[in-house]
Amino acid sequence: MKNVEFPDPTIERLCCYRRILSALLAAGHARVYSHELAAAQRVTPAQVRRDVMLIGYSGSPVKGYDIAGLLDRIGEILDPPGGVGVVLVGVGYLGRALLAYFAGRKSPIPVVAAFDVAPETSGQLIHGCHCYHIDELSSFLSRRSILVGIVAVPAEAAQKTARELIDGGVRALLNFAPVQLDVPQNVYVENVDIAVSLEKTAFFAQSMSLEKED
Amino acid sequence: MKNVEFPDPTIERLCCYRRILSALLAAGHARVYSHELAAAQRVTPAQVRRDVMLIGYSGSPVKGYDIAGLLDRIGEILDPPGGVGVVLVGVGYLGRALLAYFAGRKSPIPVVAAFDVAPETSGQLIHGCHCYHIDELSSFLSRRSILVGIVAVPAEAAQKTARELIDGGVRALLNFAPVQLDVPQNVYVENVDIAVSLEKTAFFAQSMSLEKED
DNA sequence: ACTATACTGTGATTGTCTTCACAGCGTGAA
DNA sequence: TTCACGCTGTGAAGACAATCACAGTATAGT
């Protein structure tokens, strides 16, 4: 098995391609050209072709790519063979929003359980997801094979939460807390920092308004 | 005035530096070395020094950087002179989570108003933010100078929302909807795509578990 | 059968961001 | 006053990703 790793930005684009391809397939299309896929994103046709090349798929000249086939191939790359279990820690406003978000769309990656310190959330079923007290996290992780943990707790609790998840066997974290998590090198952390995103947006709003109108 | 633009990744790091510097200042520190700042993030000391150089600040050898001075300088870069107004569109689960998030921390960038299609949210005060019906958006924007819009509506409504915001004078969007917004070139869009983030995390969880333990 | 066409596949190039490595310098000790 | 130390500032090199540009090719039309 080739253990070639795909570059980070390519993985991100593959997720987006998949979304668009699914929509196209649902709309009755069977084939797509690189420039069509590119137009739906903010990328160049050459970028699309290179990504497709990277994952080892081929289209035909003249007719473009077969949507169903390309979708399958992307799925082979992105979707883990046995499926990944995902747990959510932190059922505050953000945690609930995430549960609603993932419950709404029939996601390929369902959240199997949620945990929180607040006793009143224990036993609740929120947006279709069972909630437990945080104390039950370790035993839950030891019983199920969970590879991904979503950290949606306040900043102060984030590091402790991360450690518990990692000790339980989780290999990657999706971190919404505004802190840099200290994790072993064999654990992947994807940070989603809303405050930083907003500050960045505000900065570019400012610099945009200085530029020429187009 | 030098209109030199800073690279995107630098802006992101500046936001993080600021957060760390504030914490250090609050903890009573007065000076910091590049390697200390670097350790708190996942960056190299050289990266920190280059960023500091870029924004035109200088530390002293031996003593490092003056925290208060560096914070001021970062603020001059990141914070718009007159402050940016921010409005939120979409007061669903995610929108409420965002309001709670920004209300909790005394953010340098407050959300001044929120809008939604649901009539029952109109007139409410959610986490300290006034909510209005979406129909009032245009007139609100024409009365106030708003540079940033947060799009937290369902995917189907996102493009329409974006257009209304841009027509109202907004120059940058923070987009949580899982679609690529079609905007003029002089409008900046920062996408926060939670579904993509989770899929990406799941992918790397998988590839991490194939690698050597450290 | 032949030709024109418009696409894909990809080596080469460009551009951008990160890292290296060392000169320069201010401080504190002798 | 002199020296040694450990930091900063930065030109140069390196790594990486995006783009260009064109050869190769399958199809449709004549």
Write out pLDDT tens, residues A44-94.
999 999 999 999 999 998 999 999 999 999 999 999 888 889 999 999 999
Region for A32 from its dihedrals, namely left if φ exceeds 0, alpha if ψ lies in -120 to 50, beta otherwise:
beta
Place of tokens 């002179």: B81
pLDDT, tens digit (0-9, with 9 covering 90-100), for A115-144? 999 999 999 999 999 999 999 999 999 999
In total, chain A counts a number of residues equal to 214
Q: Taking the mean position of all CA atoms in its chain, how far away is CA A208?
A: 29
pLDDT-derived band at A214, boundaries 50, 70, 90: very low
Query: How many Å apart are CA A78 and CA A14, to the nearest integer?
Result: 8
Record: fold of A8-77: Arc Repressor Mutant, subunit A (1.10.10)
Helix (H) or strand (E) holding A66: strand A65-66
Quick: pLDDT tens for A133-187.
999 999 999 999 999 999 999 999 999 999 999 999 999 999 999 999 999 999 9
- CATH number among 1.10.10.10, 1.20.950.20, 3.40.50.2300, 3.20.190.10, domain B8-76: 1.10.10.10
What single-letter amino acid sits at B4? V
At residue B22, the pLDDT reads: 96
Q: B174 with A190: CB under 8 angstroms?
A: no
Q: What integer best gives the mean pLDDT of chain B?
A: 93
The domain B86-196: what is its CATH number? 3.40.50.720
**CB B202 to CB A96 under 8 A?**
no
Hey, which residues 138-197 in chain A have their CB within 8 Å of chain B? Answer: 147-148, 150, 170-174, 178, 180, 184-188, 190, 192-197
d(CA A36, CA A118): 48
Give A181's contacts (C-beta < 8 A, 6+ positions apart): A151, A158, A159, A162, A173, A175, A189, A191
The answer for residues whose C-beta is within 8 angstroms of residue B67's C-beta and 6 or more apart is: B21, B24, B25, B29, B30, B31, B32
Instruction: Say whether B101 and A108 touch across the interface (CB within 8 A).
Output: no
Q: Which nucleotide is nearest to A31 (CA to C1')?
A: C7
A146 touches strand C (CB under 7 A): no
- Which pLDDT does position B2 carry in this prediction? 40
Partner residue facing B172 (CB), from A108, A187, A201: A201
**Chain A residue nearest residue B111, CA to CA:** A198
- B43 CB and strand C closer than 7 A: yes
User: A199 with B15: CB under 8 angstroms?
Assistant: yes
pLDDT at B203 over 80: yes
Q: Which of A100-109, A120-129, B23-32, B55-64 shows the lowest mean pLDDT across its residues?
A: A100-109
The string of pLDDT tens digits covering residues B134-173 is: 999 999 999 999 999 999 999 999 999 999 999 999 999 9
Give the pLDDT band of residue B213 (cuts 50, 70, 90). very low
Provide the 3-class DSSP secondary structure of residue A206.
helix
- Phi first, then psi: give them for residue A122, nearest 5 degrees: -60, 135
Which residues in chain A have their CB less than 8 angstroms from residue B206's CB? 80, 84, 147, 171
| CB-strand contact B50/C, under 7 Å | yes
The three state secondary structure string of chain B is CCCCCCCHHHHHHHHHHHHHHHHHHHCCCCEECHHHHHHHCCCCHHHHHHHHHHCCCCCECCCEEEHHHHHHHHHHHHCCCCCCCEEEECCCHHHHHHHHHHHHCCCCCCEEEEEECCHHHCCCEECCEEEEEHHHHHHHHHHCCCCEEEECCCHHHHHHHHHHHHHCCCCEEEECCCCCCCCCCCCEEEECCHHHHHHHHHHHHHHHHHCCCC
How many residues in total does chain B contain? 214
Q: For chain B, which residues make up each domain, given as ranges? A: 8-76, 86-196
Which SS3 state, helix, strand or coil, does residue A3 take?
coil
3-state SS assignment for residue A85: coil
CB of A31 lies under 7 Å from some atom of strand C: no
Residue A4 has pLDDT above 90, yes or no: no
Cβ separation B190–A173 shorter than 8 A:
no
SS3 A143: helix
* Three-state secondary structure call for residue A56: coil
How does residue B1 score in pLDDT terms, banded at 50, 70 and 90? very low
pLDDT value at B103 more than 70: yes
Quick one: pLDDT band at residue B3, thresholds 50, 70, 90? very low
Tokens 């907004």 correspond to B170
Protein residue minimizing CA–C1' distance to D18: A47
Segment B112-136 shows an average pLDDT of 97
pLDDT on residue A37: 97
- The per-residue pLDDT for B214 is 42
When pLDDT is cut at 50, 70 and 90, the band that residue B4 belongs to is low
Chain B residues whose CB is inside 8 A of the A165 CB are none
The answer to whether A151 and A158 are in contact (CB under 8 A) is yes
pLDDT score recorded for residue A107: 72
Determine the residue type at A98.
Answer: L
pLDDT of residue A3: 45
Residue A114, min C-alpha distance to chain B (Å) = 15
Q: Answer whether residue B129 shows pLDDT above 70.
A: yes
Torsion sign, CA atoms B153, A198, B130, A102: positive
Residue A24 in tokens: 């196209």
In the numeric block, the tokens 């949580």 are attached to: B176
Q: Is residue B209's pLDDT more than 80? A: no
Supply the pLDDT for residue A84. 87
Instruction: Categorize the per-residue pLDDT at B211 as very low, low, confident or very high, splitting at 50, 70 and 90.
Output: low
Indicate if the pLDDT at residue A213 is higher than 50. Answer: no
Q: Shortest CB distance from B214 goes to which of A100, A185, A194?
A: A185
Q: Cα(B45)–Cα(B10) distance, rounded to whole angstroms?
A: 14
Least confidently predicted of A204-213, B23-32, B107-116, B178-187: A204-213
Distance from CA of A64 to the nearest CA of B (A): 22
Q: Judge: A213–B84 Cβ closer than 8 Å, yes or no.
A: no
Bridge partner list, B64: B60
Tokens linked to A85? 């279990």
Higher pLDDT among residues B52 and B210, named by residue: B52
Residue B90: phi and psi, rounded to 5, are: 105, 100
Chain B residues touching A40 at Cβ < 8 A? 180
Please identify among residues 52-111 of chain B the ones whose CB lies closer than 8 Å to any CB of chain A. 77-80, 84, 86, 92-94, 96-98, 100-102, 105, 107-109
Both structure tokens of A56: 């080892």
Q: What single letter denotes the amino acid at residue A120?
A: E
Best mutation target among B175, B206, B214 (most A Cβ atoms within 10 Å) is B206
